[in-house]
Structure 1
């Protein structure tokens, strides 16, 4: 299940804000960072991190990652990513739901604003979508050149690690 980005984002162009960098397809960046649907079974050819089968990020896409704890108001404690993106207090952000994640990006008609503390705030409906609650740790994946942050519940990180290591554990007889 995913909620498509609005027409302005689905046009495939994003402004990088860096001179000499052509706009890239922002949906490719989001697809490269999105997780598969729960219960999806990897194909036999899908060994640990089958990079040939994954969406590829452009080579010049710098990524930032962080883990932050969410409070009862939906604020995420990790602020370094927001600062690295150059998002300022009062700036409006669009929130889009994707499979098992939440995408934040600047938008003049965005539903949320960056608070004075320069943290992301997850709206209640998005928290319900991802089953995240106060005290949960969240994984933030940011593509500063594209001005986006994707937030995943820490259970998604658990799932990624299990899926990555499952084939090697099966061939090793479960021995680390």
Structure 2
């Protein structure tokens, strides 16, 4: 599935995309993996926090990037993040840190809601 959004954020070293997990719990965007310099077969580890999962390369990692450039995320991890089958997620490649961050869409929606709540009464241009 082509990404819904592709954006390089200025010179920030951030590249953002939107994707969905496939039927086997794998996710990825080849262009993000290429930007990170992550080849198929490379080992990775996954660090899970309440609002994100951070993927980083690690020689001791238990996962391997597949031939499509996808990483697997276990069902239990997806459940902890509140990600259900078919839900879109936001992928952020931090080139400066060499990590891929997976955010549930609810986290991004919350950030947008907070942004607009600070604009109380401002409607010009909307």
The TM-score with structure 1 as length reference comes to 0.59
Aligned residues: 115
Please point out which of 94, 112, 121 is paired with 1:172: 121
| Number of the residue aligned with 1:160 | 111
CA RMSD of aligned residues (A): 2.0
Structure 1: tracts of 5 or more residues without a match: 1-59
Bigger-Rg structure (1/2): 1
Structure 2: tracts of 5 or more residues without a match: 1-10
Please identify runs of 4+ aligned residues in structure 1 that moved more than 4 A.
Answer: 173-176
Q: Summarize the Cα distance change of 1:77–1:127 in structure 2 as closer, same or farther, 3 Å threshold.
A: same
Give, in whole Å, the separation in 1 of the partners of 2:24 and 2:30: 15
Q: Which has the higher helix share?
A: 1
Q: Deviations over 1:65-92 (max 9, x none)?
A: 1111112211225221112111111111
Equivalent residues of 1:79, 1:120 under 8 A apart = no
